[in-house]
Structure formats: C-alpha cells, structure tokens
C-alpha cells in the first residue's frame, strides 16, 4: 500500500496506550447494570402499585401501565443476569482499560465541574474555563491558542443566545458587572 | 397530482432568503458534525436543536433536516479520506472508498459517494412525496385502538427484528416507556414515580435525555480512542465529477437495488446501518467480479452510500405520516415538532400543510444544494479534521449544556443530561440499543394515552384491539413480529427436517 500522499495529520498527545490493563470485563458491567435495573424496577413497581395499578370503572388506573412495564423491565433484567453468567468468552471482553478510563474521566470530571461552576459563575464564564483548561491540559495545546479559542467561543455563544436569540442562560457575577 | 401542486406550494414557502440562508447554515453545520469523529446525524441534530427554539416551526425543521442531510454527506468524507467512518452507516463505505483514496482516486470516490447519497435520498423523497399523503389520509380514520396497535407494531418490530440481544432491546424499551411516564398522569392527574421531587413533577424531558444519550455519551466514547489522524487531502475538479457521472448509467442496477433496500429498511425500523451493509453485500454478490470488491471498486462506494441515504431519508416517512419515527434522528425531529407545538401524526397533513410541504420541498432542495456544496468544498471540510479533538470536545459539552438548560430553563435538566450521558455510555458499551430507548421515550405517553382511551371506549375489554379487520391485522402482525425469531427458527427447522426424512416436529 502506498501512503505517499498523506497530507493531513493530527496528533493526540494524551492518547490511551494500547497495552493498558483491563479494569473490568463486559460481563461484570452487564451484571452490575442488570442488578441496578432490577432494583429500579422493584422500586418503580412498588411506587406504581401504591399509586394504583388495577382497573376501575374508567379503565386502567394511573399506575397500571408503568406497573406492568416495571415487571417487564425486572424480568428482562433477571434474564440478563442469567444470560451474562451463561454467555461465552465474548462477555469476558474488556469493558474499559485503565488508560481509557483515565481519558474518559479526563472529560467526565471537567464536565461535572463545569456543571457545578455553571450555577455560581454562569454558563459563559464556566465554559471559558472548561474549554481553556481542557485544551491546555488534555490537548497540550499552546496556552494562547487555548485562551483565545475559549474566549471566542464563549463570546460567540453569549452573543448568539443572550443577545440575538434571547435565550436566557444562567449568568454569574461577571455578566452582572457588565450590566447583563 | 394533488401532491405535485402542494409540493410546488411547498417550494414557494421555502424560497425566501431567510429560509435559504438557514438551509445553507444547516448544511454546513451538518457536514461539520458529520466530519467530526464521534458525532453524527442524531448527535448533531440533538445538540443543535436548541438553536431552533426561537424560530418558527418551518424554518426550524428546514434547518434541522438540513443538518441531518449535511451529516449524511459528511460521514462519507472521513470514511474515504481517513478510513475513519464518521458514522456507523459509513463503515461499508470505507471498504472500497479508502483503497480508492490510497490509489490516488480520492476525488472519484468522494464524487461517487456524494452522488449516490443524492440519488438515494432523491428516491426516498419521491417515495415520501407520493406515499406520505396517501398513508396519512388513510391514517386519519384511525381511532385510539388503531394508533395503539401501530405503536405496538413499532415496538414489537424492534424487539423481533433487531439484531441485538432480545432481552436488551426489551430492557431499553421498558425503561424508555417507564421514564416517559414519570410526572403527572395525563388521564387522571395523579403523580407517578416522582418520589416527592418537584423537579420530576414536570417529567423527564425527551430532548434533555437525547442530548445526554447522544451528545455527552458520544464524547465519552470518542475519548477512549486514539484520536490521531492521518489521511489524504482531496479536491474535486469538475472534470472528475463529469467523468464519474458519465459512468453512472452503467451502475443503474446497483443504484436501484440499494435505493429499494434503503427505502424498505428506513421505513421499517431496520436503520441506515443495516441498509448500507446489505447494499454493499448484495452489490458484491451480484457482481461478476467479486474479488475486486474491497480493493477500490467504485461500485463498492455507490452501493452502501445509496442505501444509507435512502434509508436515512425514508425514516422520515412514518414520522410524517403516522407520527412514528423510523430512526433515532427521526425521533429527535419528532421531539422537536412537539416543542414547536405541532402534534405529529396524520393530522399534520391537514392542519399544517405549509409546514409539511415546506419540509418535503426542503428535502429536494436541501439535497441538491448539499450535493453542490460538498462537491465544491471538500478540501475545507477535510481540513476541519486538523482541529484537535481536545478543542472540539469541550465546545460540544458546552453546546449540550446550553441545549439542555434552554429547553425548560432548569438546572435540574443539566444534571439529568449528565446522568443520561453516563447511561448512554454504559449502554452503548454493553450493547443495550439506544434507538428503541429513544423511540420509547418519545412515544411512551402517546402510546399509553392511546391504550387507555381504547380501554375507556371499550369499557376495559381487550377485544377492542381485534374489533375490526384493520386494527386486528395490525395487532396480530405486531404479535407475530414480536415472536418472529421463534417463528423463524421453527420454520427453518421444518424446512431442514421435513424433506429428507418424515420427521414430524412437535
């Protein structure tokens, strides 16, 4: 194969390594999810039973439909647990490797912090911090590029939503200081 | 012929500068999300949906559907130039598209991909133009039992025909229906499954769930991969385009076959992914020179792309005519319709003629404009990939958060979105399908209302679902489809065992 004219190349400096050890198998996650769903099904079934899951003169009560759905969900989850234990080696495949998990956390944790920050700083300041921080730390992109991109994006979002389309977003002290 | 007149009226609705501009914006954004790794049609539409909240419904749906066409076009670019399918339905395009790019025929491959996408959509749009009004006028006679039967048919066909483990499809669907039921019960006014929370009182908003399931979870999944890219740059000259188009008639059979497969799988919930593979495999099987497939044969690009687009477009047919989405993206568009205060279903064709025919006309126009746009701007879009994912990812997160918040101005929804993001990530990894989950979420309360109204009509007698020929046929068909895998196995074992020996199956 001739790859002579490769013209676009982008690097990924913090890519997960190929040979990272496995954290957990698909089977383990499968069983855990099924158990959680089973628990959810029991709670919902109980709640709907309390609401009323039988028939009265006008047809089914409010809890009728969801009650039987909870039963179906619970049944399918139970079946899922059984199937996960009986299934062959396919289920033993790696769910996520340690390096992958680290990378997933590298997005998830900042996103979580972003959602928390949004309530205090407003969405635009929080998004500036998220974008600049993420580009710098995860992407290893030059600091001025990170700051500039983050500023431009947040500014464009502010103008688009707050000024042009009049969509109200949570705002914080900075916007208040400018009178918005 | 009435359809033609209405279609012309639709074009008249469209041809304003504002709408045309929105179309262009939608297409560019769509190609953009289609090209970016880990983002595709449903994600793009879900993330960009909030932009349209302040528009009138016609402009909004035109822009959203253009995002969808754009994403369908964009998926092909990365498959061919980088061997990275931007979408699951572009996987089959890489088989022959990337080898072509390696042989220096990237421009031909791209032209072939875009052209066949266009042909696929066109066939499906023609089908929609003439079939949708007919189906909807037929569906106008439907009462609650008929509608419930149709919903049941949709749910059952997902379980019976889906390729995932059956219990996982059932889990996805039951969970979706349950979550759709959270909040105030529309018939009795009672509260259900709120556990005293005032935030849950409003129910779980479908679009918030979708933004989490498709936006946030996709970012998490994409980050697992190594995101370094190496690929070919390409520009398409008019000469290449004309050369490929001149050869087009030679492949009419492949194009036709793939279009038919695509339309069929798009209307039934089979999806574009299955359609693209089936299109490719059939083209290969019917070819005289099977070995040359996978080594850069242009038919190997034509076949899957035509099928994928025909299917992606045809998925809008049941959405428009019956209010039942044929794909994940169609489900999201349906959710959008409700936000704009339109009630999806056959009445749309009567009450909102402007809207429906504007949308159908925009399918024609959007695909023509889209074809010209991608053919002329491929180099620009390919270079989007130079933007590192570390810059794109946080921007998508921010867009998702803005979208989730904007729907009901509630911080609770942002947390809900994050939760759905995690759920989507885990579900995708353990192969609990998201399409039936989304479908159940969007149709849940409508299905329940239809069921309970039927029960009120009949006084609680289940026989109402077999009360006349029509509803009886649909209900029976639904139940048959639900048990289709079992029936299929029985039939197969009969077929195998009866001819040689007189062995009777129990």
Q: What is the pLDDT of residues B452-477, one digit of tens each?
A: 888 888 877 778 888 888 888 888 88
Contact B398 A55 (CB under 8 A): no
Q: How far is B278 from chain A (nearest CA, A)?
A: 25
- Interval B310-325: pLDDT, tens: 888 888 888 888 888 7
Closest residue in A to B422 (Cα) is A108
pTM of the model: 0.83
- Using 50, 70 and 90 to split pLDDT, how confident is the model at A151? very high
pLDDT in tens, B255-290: 888 888 888 888 776 566 777 888 888 888 887 777
Domain boundaries, chain B: 2-503
Whose structure tokens read 């029936």?
Answer: B487
Confidence of residue B390 (pLDDT cuts 50, 70, 90): confident
Q: Which residue has the tokens 């969970």?
A: B175
Q: Answer for the pair B465, B153: CB distance below 8 angstroms, yes or no.
A: no
pLDDT at B417: 92
User: How far is residue A170 from each of residues B26, B52, B198, B404, B405, measured CA to CA in Å?
Assistant: 26, 19, 20, 12, 9
| B489 vs B426: which has the higher pLDDT | B426
Within 8 A of A166 by CB-CB distance, chain B residues are: 54
Among chain B residues, CA nearest to A40: B175
Q: Are B259 and B124 in contact (CB under 8 A)?
A: yes
Q: B72, B312 in Cβ contact below 8 A?
A: yes
Q: What values do phi and psi take at A22, rounded to 5?
A: -75, 140
Closest by CA position to B179, among listed B219, B152, B153, B206: B206
Once rounded to an integer, what is the mean pLDDT over residues B117-135?
A: 88
Pick from A5, A83, A135: CB nearest B165: A83
| For residue A152, pLDDT beyond 90 | yes
Element (H, E) at B369: helix B353-384
Among B504, B404, B439, B494, CA closest to B47: B404
Task: Find out whether B158 and B326 touch, Cβ atoms under 8 Å.
Answer: no
The predicted structure's pLDDT at residue A37: 92
Residues 124-143 of A with CB under 8 A from B: 127, 130-131, 134-135, 138-141
- For CA atoms B99, B100, B103, B106, the dihedral sign is negative
Residue range B351-356: mean pLDDT, rounded: 81
In this complex, do B223 and A103 lie within 8 Å of one another by their Cβ atoms?
yes
Contact A10, B386 (CB under 8 A): yes
- How close does chain B come to A42, measured CA to CA in Å? 12
Q: Is A73 in contact with A37 (CB distance < 8 Å)?
A: yes
B460 touches chain A (CB under 8 A): yes
Contact across the interface for A51 and B192, Cβ inside 8 Å: yes
Greater confidence (B159 vs A40) lies with A40
Cα–Cα distance, B96 to B81 (Å, whole number): 11
Residue B197 token pair: 């929370």
The CA distance from B361 to the nearest CA of chain A, in Å, is 26
Nearest CA in chain B to A50: B192
User: Which of B37, B77, B144, B178 is the best substitution to test chain A (most A C-beta atoms within 10 A)?
Assistant: B178
Count A/B contacts: CB-CB distance under 8 Å: 218
By the CB < 8 Å criterion, does A100 face chain B?
A: yes
Chain A residues with CB-CB distance to B429 below 8 A: 26, 29, 95-96
Instruction: Inspect the interface and report whether the beta carbons of A9 and B229 lie closer than 8 Å.
Output: yes
- Number of neighbouring beta carbons within 10 Å of residue B235: 14
Q: Search chain B and give the residue with CA nearest A129.
A: B394
Residue B419: its chain A contacts at CB < 8 A?
none
Distance CA B276, CA A50 (A): 48
Helices B106-139 & B57-82 angle (0-180, nearest 10): 150
In chain A, alpha helices (H): 26-51, 64-86, 98-121, 123-137, 143-157, 173-177
For the record, the structure tokens of B473 come out as 């046929």
Helical H segments across B315-352, by residue range: 316-322, 328-339, 348-351
Report the distance separating Cα B14 and Cα B366, nearest Å: 11
Whether B84 has a pLDDT exceeding 80, the answer reads no
The interface predicted TM-score of the complex, written ipTM, equals: 0.89
How many Å apart are CA A56 and CA A40, to the nearest integer? Answer: 27
Whether the predicted pLDDT of A127 surpasses 90: yes
Distance (Å) from the alpha carbon of B314 to chain A's nearest alpha carbon: 30
Report CA-CA distances (Å) from B363 to B114, B127, B157, B343: 15, 12, 27, 20
For helices B252-267 and B271-286, angle between their N-to-C axes, nearest 10 degrees: 150
- A6, A119, A170: residue with CB nearest B230: A6
Q: Cα(B390)–Cα(A13) distance, rounded to whole angstroms? A: 10
B247–A contact, CB cutoff 8 A: no
Q: How close B185 comes to chain A (CA, Å)?
A: 6
Q: DSSP state, B343? A: -
Long-range pairs, A81-89, Cβ under 8 A, ≥24: A81/A31, A81/A34, A81/A35, A81/A38, A83/B165, A83/B167, A84/A27, A84/A30, A84/A31, A84/A34, A85/A27, A85/A31, A87/A27
Q: Tell me the sheet residues that pair with A96.
A: A24
**Sign of dihedral through CA atoms B168, A78, A21, A93?**
negative
Mean pLDDT of B111-133: 88
Which 8-state DSSP code applies to residue A122?
B
SS3 A162: helix
Tell which A residues from 73 to 92 touch B, by Cβ distance under 8 Å. 73, 76-77, 79-80, 83
A38 near B CB under 8 A: no
Chain B within 8 Å of A60 (Cβ-Cβ)?
A: yes
Q: Which residues does residue B191 pair with via DSSP β-bridges, in sequence order?
A: B184
First vs last C-alpha separation in chain B: 54
């Amino acid at each position: 194969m001739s790859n002579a004219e490769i013209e676009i190349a982008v690097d990924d400096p913090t890519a997960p390594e190929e040979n990272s050890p496995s954290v957990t198998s698909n089977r383990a996650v499968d069983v855990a999810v099924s158990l959680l769903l089973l628990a959810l099904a029991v709670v919902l079934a109980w709640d709907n039973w309390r609401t009323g899951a039988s028939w009265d003169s006008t047809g089914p009560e409010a809890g009728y439909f969801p009650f039987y759905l909870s039963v179906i969900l619970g049944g399918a989850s139970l079946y899922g647990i059984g199937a996960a234990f009986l299934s062959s080696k396919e289920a033993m495949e790696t769910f996520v490797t340690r390096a992958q998990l680290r990378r997933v956390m590298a997005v998830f944790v900042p996103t979580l912090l972003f959602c928390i920050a949004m309530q205090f700083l407003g969405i635009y300041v929080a998004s500036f911090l998220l974008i600049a921080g993420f580009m710098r730390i995860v992407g290893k992109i030059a600091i001025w590029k990170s700051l500039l991109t983050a500023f431009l994006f947040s500014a464009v979002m502010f103008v688009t939503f707050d000024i042009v389309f009049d969509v109200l977003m949570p705002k914080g002290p900075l916007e208040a200081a400018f009178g918005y | 012929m009435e359809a033609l007149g209405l279609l012309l009226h639709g074009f008249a609705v469209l041809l304003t500068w504002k709408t045309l501009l929105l179309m262009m914006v939608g297409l560019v954004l769509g190609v953009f999300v289609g090209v970016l790794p880990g983002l595709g049609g449903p994600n793009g539409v879900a993330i960009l949906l909030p932009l349209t909240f302040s528009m009138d419904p016609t402009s909004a749906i035109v822009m959203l559907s253009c995002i969808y066409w754009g994403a369908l076009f964009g998926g092909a670019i990365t498959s061919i130039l980088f061997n990275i399918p931007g979408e699951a339905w572009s996987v089959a395009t890489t088989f022959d598209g990337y080898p072509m790019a390696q042989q220096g025929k990237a421009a031909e491959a791209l032209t072939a991909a875009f052209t066949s996408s266009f042909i696929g959509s066109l066939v499906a749009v023609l089908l929609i133009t003439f079939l949708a009004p007919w189906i909807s006028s037929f569906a106008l006679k439907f009462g609650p039992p008929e509608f419930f039967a149709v919903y049941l048919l949709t749910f059952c066909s997902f379980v019976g025909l889906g390729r995932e483990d059956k219990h996982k499809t059932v889990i996805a669907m039951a969970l979706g229906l349950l979550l759709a039921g959270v909040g105030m019960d529309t018939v009795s006014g009672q509260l259900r499954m709120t556990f005293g929370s005032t935030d849950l009182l409003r129910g779980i908003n479908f679009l918030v769930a979708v933004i989490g399931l498709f936006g946030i979870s996709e970012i998490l999944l994409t980050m697992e991969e190594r995101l370094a890219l190496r690929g070919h740059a390409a520009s398409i000259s008019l000469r290449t385009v004309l050369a490929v188009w001149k050869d087009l008639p030679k492949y009419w059979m492949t194009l036709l076959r793939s279009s038919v497969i695509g339309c069929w799988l798009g209307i039934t919930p089979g999806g574009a992914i299955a359609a693209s593979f089936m299109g490719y495999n059939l083209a290969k099987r019917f070819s005289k020179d099977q070995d040359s497939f996978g080594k850069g044969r242009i038919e190997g690009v034509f076949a899957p792309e035509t099928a994928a687009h025909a299917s992606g477009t045809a998925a809008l047919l049941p959405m428009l005519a019956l209010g039942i989405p044929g794909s994940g993206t169609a489900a999201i568009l349906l959710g959008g319709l409700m936000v704009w205060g339109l009630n999806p279903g056959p009445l749309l064709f009567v009450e909102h003629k402007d809207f429906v025919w504007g949308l159908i006309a925009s399918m024609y126009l959007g695909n023509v404009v889209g074809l010209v746009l991608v053919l002329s701007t491929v180099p620009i879009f390919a270079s989007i990939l130079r933007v590192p994912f570390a810059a794109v990812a946080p921007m998508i997160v921010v867009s998702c958060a803005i979208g989730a918040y904007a729907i009901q101005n509630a911080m609770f929804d942002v947390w809900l979105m994050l939760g759905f993001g995690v759920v989507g990530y885990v579900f995708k990894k353990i192969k609990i399908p998201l399409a039936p989950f989304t479908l159940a979420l969007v149709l849940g309360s409508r299905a329940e209302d239809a069921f309970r109204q039927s029960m009120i009509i009949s006084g609680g007698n289940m026989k109402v679902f077999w009360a006349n020929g029509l509803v009886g046929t649909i209900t029976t068909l639904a139940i048959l489809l639900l048990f289709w895998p079992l029936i299929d196995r029985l039939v197969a074992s009969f077929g195998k065992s009866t001819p040689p020996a007189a062995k009777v199956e129990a």
